[in-house]
Amino acid sequence: MKPSSFDAAAWRKKAGAFVIRCHHHLFGKNNEDPLAYLFTRGIKNEFAKKMLLGWNKFSQERPGENWGFGPGPEKIVLQKGLVIPYIVEKELKSVFIYPYEPAGGKGAVMVPGSLSSCMVLHTGPEGPGPKKKEAPVLVHDLMQGLLLFQEKKESGCIIIHPDPETPVDEALKALLESSEKKLL
Domains in the chain, ordered, with CATH? 1-115 (3.90.980.10), 117-184 (no CATH)
Neighbours of 86 (CB within 10 A): 22
Neighbours of 39 (CB within 10 A): 12
Cα-flanking dihedrals φ and ψ of residue 105, to 5°?
80, -135
130 against 171, higher pLDDT: 171
Per-residue pLDDT at 84 exceeds 90: yes
Q: Residue 14: how many CB atoms within 10 A of its CB?
A: 19
pTM of the model: 0.85
pLDDT for the residue numbered 96: 95
Q: What is the pLDDT of residue 130?
A: 47
Please tell me the predicted confidence (pLDDT) of residue 1: 47
Q: What is the phi/psi pair of residue 102, to 5°?
A: -55, -35
For the stretch 39-73, pLDDT in tens is: 999 999 999 999 999 999 999 999 999 999 988 77
Alpha helices (H) along the chain: 8-26, 32-40, 45-50, 142-151, 170-178
- Say what the pLDDT of residue 124 is: 66
Q: How far is CA 172 from the centre of its chain?
A: 16
Distance CA 79, CA 60 (A): 6
**Do 126 and 153 touch, CB atoms closer than 8 A?**
no
